[in-house]
Chains A and B, each alone.
Chain A
């Protein structure tokens, strides 16, 4: 078929839109939208909990959290599926993305490390060195 050259702005616009919204692109991105929306809901509570910052840094923080959820969620869902075959990744991606967005990870990890140290102290017995 004869591909006529794109002459006007509207034609260029339609060309770009057809490329962005092509079914091939939507097929890849579509499943990730569940993750993005779930992580958005979680991250909005995290932004509200956080100290007030400038608007730009809030947007960047939000994008970091959602991006982390997009990167990590599928892997975690597949790993969970290998332990529990009855939980398919289709079901678990939304809760996992919500948790990744919601939980304050540095705080949670520091609590975890403190619990591990406390367990070690309990096991070896406190020498009374620290108060």
Chain B
């Protein structure tokens, strides 16, 4: 039983890490960020919260779920360069509207 508690606490900490990174990236998103990217990080955050509190509905994390949580956390940490400075990467946003360029828009707006 104490091993289950240990797994539960480690899982809780790992899931909080995943959720915090996902929340920071959601916070960094602007209006132009693609919907699919928002869905990705909303899924990470919801899944992390669900996995962190799973002992409260009677499911205990085992080594397998710890492994996938570690993999998620490592993956998010490895992609930290793309989100450096809390700026979304270029591929996370759609194309900028051409009308905003001064070469296209000759002072007509």
Asked, given contacts A55-B24, A55-B27, whether A45 binds B57 with beta carbons under 8 Å apart, the answer is no
Write out the residue numbers on chain B whose beta carbons fall within 8 Å of the beta carbon of A21: 5, 8, 55-56
Asked if B2 contacts A17 (CB within 8 A), the reply is yes
Asked, given contacts A21-B55, A30-B57, A37-B50, whether A44 binds B26 with beta carbons under 8 Å apart, the answer is yes
A21-B86 Cα distance, complex, nearest whole Å = 36
The answer, yes or no, to whether B46 is at the interface (CB within 8 Å) is yes
What's the A-B contact tally at a CB cutoff of 8 Å? 80
Closest CB-CB distance, A28 to chain B, in whole Å?
9
Chain B: interface size category: 20 to 34
Stretch in A46-54, A77-85, A107-115, A117-125 with 4+ CB within 8 Å of B: A46-54
Asked if A37 contacts B49 (CB within 8 A), the reply is yes
Binding site for B on A (CB under 8 A): 10, 13-14, 17-18, 21, 25-26, 29-30, 33, 36-37, 40-41, 44-45, 47-50, 52-53, 55, 58-59, 62
> Can you list 22 A-B pairs, Cβ within 8 angstroms, ordered by A?
A17-B2, A29-B53, A30-B56, A33-B53, A37-B49, A37-B50, A40-B45, A40-B46, A41-B42, A44-B23, A44-B38, A44-B42, A47-B26, A48-B27, A49-B31, A52-B27, A52-B29, A52-B86, A53-B27, A55-B24, A55-B27, A59-B20
Known contacts A29-B53, A48-B33, then 20 further A-B pairs from the complex at CB < 8 Å, ordered by chain A residue: A14-B1, A14-B5, A18-B5, A21-B8, A26-B56, A30-B57, A30-B58, A33-B57, A36-B49, A37-B46, A41-B42, A41-B45, A44-B45, A47-B26, A48-B26, A48-B38, A52-B28, A55-B23, A59-B20, A62-B23
